[in-house]
Structure 1
Amino acid sequence: FFHEKVTAATVIAILLSLAGIALLNQTGDGTSLSLWGVTLVMLSSLTYAIYIVVVNKSSLRMSSVKLTFYVLLFGLFTIYGYTLAMGETVQLLVTPKQWLYATQLALMPTVLSLVLMVIAVHDIGSTPTAIMGAIEPITAVAIGVLVFGENFTPRLAIGIVLILTAVLLIIGGKEMSPHKITLAISRVGKRLAKTWRWKS
């Protein structure tokens, strides 16, 4: 819609990040994913992508904090309206511990994340911001392994390598030719193959 120039580095980075995220989210025990859940995730990703592009291309100019405030305010009214429409009640926070957790949840992964995302979109554009946002599942895997004792499998390792490669391609995308990208990927693949052969 906005006639952005699509480079080879961007296309390869998108494919690598999608493959990496698929590996990180694939069930390890072979069970099938919920079709409804996958649909909801795709719709959520689509609306988030539209939001990132609109923030980058909109003629509306305001500070990142102010824009984040209006986005969260709209989300508040939307959730409250949905709650009333479904006949549900709002559960109030009553203990200091609940308020502490709610405050941390509101500030760290919500307000701070959205403000920094808006700043990133304005500084580097929507496509690099979206691709570098693929680091989020890597964080989730790291927390799962280090905090909750989940198994770190070769599938997760390959997924992380693919995502980090995509991020590095975006960082140096303007200086990357298709030949250099293909050469770099082949070298990474050979090193991974040697590593797994050595371990086995």
Structure 2
Amino acid sequence: MDAMAAVFQHSLFDTGDAIELGRLAPTRTLLSRGAWVDYQPSWLTGADLLFDALHHDVPWKAERREMYERVVDVPRLLAFHEEGEPLPHPALEQARDLLSERYAGELGEPFVSAGMCLYRDGRDSVAWHGDRIGRARDTDTMVAILSVGSARSLMLRPRGGGSSIGFSLGHGDLVVMGGSCQRTWDHAIPKTSRPVGPRISIQFRPRGVR
């Protein structure tokens, strides 16, 4: 499906006519084995405006990857901004800087890169995984995700199996996974059969974490 063919239903609750970030005051959920998740719904107002800008302006790319001994389409569109590259909207630069300031004491370093995913509809997804490429394989770190567009469920469960928890992410919601979360827990955006519009997630990471 062409990324531009997706139909996005704007939120009835996000009535902001400007893109603005609110006070950063997330609620923390402690998980097992030193992992935790911070969650703040509606951190960004005017999120629908940001969705429209990113949907239109970002050069989204389709990828294919080897899986189960065959090459398959990645079920979402992707874009990645390395450290030092300008981000596609000033609000993302501001979000990255505010997150770096807020978590400086725990993380000890800034967020520097921004990966982006476009989930076009309920058929797009990401399977259970942890961001364990690079230093996150054996070091505590953080991944912050800002979401715009239609809400989707981010699910988390202990690595190796166990009971899962979920957060609804869309329309300016923020989630930050920290502590040992990338090493000891997995997360996923499951497919859904219910009608759902497109969603864009922006994942801020520190240096050396993917």
Q: What is the TM-score normalised by the length of structure 2?
A: 0.26
Determine which structure has the larger helix proportion and give its number: 1
Larger Rg: 1
Q: Which has the higher contact order (CA 8 A, sep 6+)?
A: 1
Determine which structure has the larger strand proportion and give its number: 2
